[in-house]
Amino acid sequence: MKKIPFITKEKAQEIAQKYPTPFYLYDEKGIRDNAKAVKEAFSWNPGFKEYFAVKATPNPYLIQIMKDYGCGCDCSSMTELMLSDAAGIKGRDIMFSSNDTPAQEYAYAARLGAIINLDDITHIEFVEGILGKLPETMSCRYNPGGVFKMSNGIMDNPGDAKYGFTTEQMFEGYRILKEKGVKNFGIHAFLASNTVSNEYYPILAKELFELAVQLEKETGADIKFINLSGGVGIPYTPDQEPNDIRAIGEGVRRVYEEVLVPAGMGDVSIYTEMGRFMMGPYGQLVTKAIHEKHTYKEYIGVDACAVNLMRPAMYGAYHHITVLGKEDAPCDHKYDVVGSLCENNDKFAIDRMLPKIDKGDYLVIHDTGAHGHAMGYNYNGKLRSAELLLKEDGNVQMIRRAETPGDYFATLDCFDIYDKLAI
């Protein structure tokens, strides 16, 4: 799959005059087309809802685009709940899926009317103690343990994950919740991350549907929804084929009719919580080459660094790079593309074959729309970049300004030293 920049070199130069590099750029048309495709892929299920994973790209402008297509929000912290509320997403349109959760966050989620998705059986008593009475609708996160396999091998290892109820705890937990007055139940599970396979959701769905049938039969709980969570990935490398969300939706439908419908559970709603799939391909980090270094290797230094995009430094993750204006030039130079942090893992690419890069060239780092800006930090006193939205009409709108030294020092404003800082 060819990686195509959203903008030309000339457009990057124009934008940079107003919003200096580095900056994040999101493609509104791509986001909208994808959200529409997801909605259509699951339209066979009347209760379907995508709860966009706020952690992936916590920007209210982008959340409001999702809202146009009926999406809710999946939140895992107080500030994500606050952000969703501010963006006009409230009540049952919020799914609160947290772990090791402070009491005040459960209280706030309940105050908003969010659906609380419990991560551990001990949290039943914990939440009851906070709220006095449990909500009528609650969900439990399931972890089957062991390893999760598909036809192409082991996908992940749920048994090592800190999340979720064991199988036995699901049955016990449902009985306890039912005794405490919960009337409407949900099941949630996340068993593999960034799967580039149309098989993942249908295989996960079959496992959860079969569990739901047993839970309802043995506990008498009225299961209203099954949340397939996230895990539907994107092709970071050009040789990967993207997931076909319509084929995925059809696969889930077939399993639904095979397992749930014969069990008299054909009214169960399907929920998803995709962040990476919803936003990942529709964000790009634009940065400028500012230095070149010729030592034991060839280096290109850019004005972005790992505080702008942590994934390559943290995971060794691959992100494709395009040099604007040189899209068709031969990739006959081997570079490490690096940032300015005092850490040797601050590299966007290692031994990457690219066209010859000159100082002043603009580089586009692809597929950064999810878990990109959101994972930013301030090591070395570095400041996070602006986020921009490329509108469908070609105009650019700032949807988050770049940080300033004043932002960095703001938490010192309770001390006299703050008055001496030149900001």
Instruction: Give me the residue label for tokens 């800082």.
Output: 421
DSSP state of 195: B
Calpha distance 29→38 (Å, rounded): 14
For range 192-201, the mean pLDDT: 90
Task: Give dist(CA 278, CA 273) in Å, integer.
Answer: 9
Q: Are residues 264 and 294 in the same domain?
A: no
For 275-327, write each residue's pLDDT tens digit. Answer: 999 999 999 999 999 999 999 999 999 999 999 999 999 999 999 999 999 99
Looking at the fold, whether 253 and 303 belong to one and the same domain comes out as no
- 96 and 243 together in one domain: yes
- For 77, counting Cβ atoms within 10 Å of its Cβ (0-12 exposed, 13-18 middle, 19+ buried), the class is middle
Sign of CA dihedral 222, 248, 24, 63: negative
The predicted pLDDT at position 3 comes to: 96
Q: Are residues 166 and 285 in the same domain?
A: no
If asked whether residues 162 and 309 sit together in one domain, one would say: no
Model pLDDT for residues 82-140, shown as the tens digit of each residue: 999 999 999 999 999 999 999 999 999 999 999 999 999 999 999 999 999 999 999 99
Q: What is the pLDDT of residue 80?
A: 98
Q: How many domains does the chain have?
A: 2
What CATH number corresponds to the domain at position 263? 3.20.20.10
- Looking at the fold, whether 327 and 312 belong to one and the same domain comes out as yes
Domain ranges, residue 104 = 28-280
Residues annotated as part of the active site: 342
Q: How many CB atoms within 10 Å of residue 114? A: 28
Q: Is there a single domain that holds both residue 262 and residue 289?
A: no
Same domain flag for 292 and 335: yes
> Can you read off the two tokens belonging to residue 346?
């601050």
Residue 421 in domain: no
Separation in Å, CA 344 to CA 20, 198, 217, 306, 347: 25, 37, 56, 11, 7
pLDDT tens across 382-408, in order? 999 999 999 999 999 999 999 999 999
Q: Is the pLDDT of residue 157 over 70?
A: no
Query: Considering the chain, what is the average pLDDT of its residues?
Result: 95
pLDDT at 148: 61
Structural domain ending residue among the three candidates 224, 259, 280: 280
260 and 303 in a single domain? The answer is no
CA distance 70 to 374: 23
Predicted pLDDT at 150: 54
With respect to residue 13, please indicate whether it lies within any of the assigned structural domains.
no
In a domain, 172, yes or no: yes
Q: Are residues 155 and 91 in the same domain?
A: yes
Same domain, 319 and 390: yes
**154 pLDDT above the threshold of 70:** no
Domain membership flag for residue 207 = yes
Q: Is the pTM here over 0.85, yes or no?
A: yes
**Domain annotation covers residue 103:** yes
Q: Is 7 inside any structural domain? A: no
| 122/255 same-domain check | yes
Helix, strand, or coil here: 292? strand
Residue 88, judged by CB atoms within 10 A of its CB (0-12, 13-18, 19+), counts as: exposed
Task: State the Cα–Cα distance between residues 81 and 87, nearest whole angstrom.
Answer: 10
- Say which DSSP state 275 is in: S
pLDDT for position 165:
94
Domain end among 280, 303, 322: 280
